[in-house]
Structure 1
Amino acid sequence: MSLSDCNNNYIYLTGSEDYALNLAKLCERFATKEKRVLLITSRQQGMAKRYPWEAHNCSQYLTILQLVDVESTPLRMLEMQDSAESLCSPDLIVFDLQSLVLDALLRPVMQQCSTDKMVRQIAKCSASFVNYREILANPAGQKAGKSIDTIVVMSQEPYPMSAAQFKLLIGLYFHGNECHTNFAKLSAKIMVSQRFA
């Protein structure tokens, strides 16, 4: 079983910061269908306050990994890799890279660092997520015939990266991922992949 056999990998290019509601609805829909979701974001508390999860299903089927900042994310992802074999394999993984970038841009420490340093941090986060995704796709840890869908949330605007750096990031780490700008169409495609009624 190859990576492409068990993973359907998508990029959602959001045109605004107000994408959390769509993510919350998709995650909750998975949970109500008893599908396991891993949401990797720095917006956990804000999402929990704004969008009430259905308590029973979400506590059982939704795991939220709250990232603190862009600098510590690669280490957190490495810790997840170490424990990947002992965890139940998710059906959907959402990596909210955009939340990390937005948080970094608002922090005075990161505002003072060079653009190149910021771009390197974003690249490290992307690489660590891809490594984790590949571990989950390993045949030894993968249930036969199980499909894992992954969504990486990024902005349509490349800032703080240049357009060339943005293309390079996607080419290096997310080559072959299907890009979407319409969340409804992306959700519908994932529902088909997961055989939702």
Structure 2
Amino acid sequence: MNLSNCINNYIYLTGTEDYALNLAKLCERFAAKEKGVLLITSRQQGMAKRYSLDSKNCNKYLTFLQLVDVESTPHRLLELQDNAESFDPDLIVFDLQSLVLDALLRPVMQQCSTDKMVRQIAKCSASFVNYREILANLHVQKAGKSIDTIVVMSQEPYPMSPAQFKLLIGLYFHGNECHTNFAKLSSRILATQGFA
């Protein structure tokens, strides 16, 4: 079995709209079908409070990895890699956008250079890609089901330059299917997972 047969990678480029509701609905649909979801975000508290997720299924099938800040995210994702065999998600959402927004609002990060911020974003991206590859290899060994991954990013490259943004996607997310319409992305993922 080829790695590309067991993992489907997507990028969702969000505009100015609040994507949390759409994301919560997609996660809830997976949980209702008893499919595991791993949501890696710094918005977890806000999503849980703002949207009433079906607690029974969501508690059982939806796992949140609460990220504190952009600086500690690579370490948190490394811990996740160490425990990759213990969790078998069908959908992984890496909300990179929430990390970037939180970092831009923190006074400490506002004072750091743009280059330092870009390096932090690149480290987070690299850590997520490493985790995703470990999961893909585990699924090949088990001849398991496919995994869908979504990386949520902004359509606006700031704090990166347009060239840095293209480089980030080229280095870490080359070949990922890119979407700007969440409904189309959601339909595509539901189809790959065999939802009726």
**Fold shared per TM-score above 0.5:** yes
| Partner residue in 1 for 2:50 | 50
In structure 2, the partner of 1:94 is 93
1:155 is the counterpart of 2:147: no
TM-score normalised over the length of structure 2: 0.97
Question: Deviations 1:115-145 (Å, cap 9, x if unpaired)?
Answer: 0000000000000000000000014675424
Aligned equivalent of 1:188: 187
Q: Secondary structure at the match of 2:10?
A: strand
Unpaired segments ≥5 residues, structure 1:
none
Distance 1:40 1:139, change over 3 A: closer
Identical counterparts, % of pairs = 85
Cα drift, residue 17 of structure 1: 4.7
1:38-91 per-position Cα deviation (integer Å, ceiling 9, x unaligned)? 00000000111100110110000000000000000000000000011122x100
Where does residue 105 of structure 1 map in the other structure?
104
- Describe how 1:130-169 pairs up with structure 2 within 5 A: 130-139=129-138, 143-169=142-168
Give the stretch that moved more between structures: 131-140 or 147-156.
Answer: 131-140
Partner in structure 1 of residue 35 of structure 2: 35
8 Å CA contact retained: 2:148, 2:189:
yes
Give the structure 1 partner of residue 63 of structure 2.
Answer: 63
Separation in 2, partners of 1:48, 1:56: 13
Does the C-alpha gap of structure 1 residues 141 and 63 become closer, same or farther in structure 2, counting only changes over 3 Å? farther
Q: Structure 2: which 5+ residue stretches go unaligned?
A: none
Where does structure 1 differ by over 6 angstroms across 4 or more consecutive aligned residues? none
Contact 1:81–1:132 (Cα < 8 Å) also in 2: yes
Q: 1:148 to 1:68 in 2, by over 3 A?
A: same
Tell me the SS of whatever aligns to 1:164.
helix
TM-score (norm. length: structure 1): 0.97
Write the letter of the residue equivalent to 1:34: E
1:72 counterpart residue number: 72
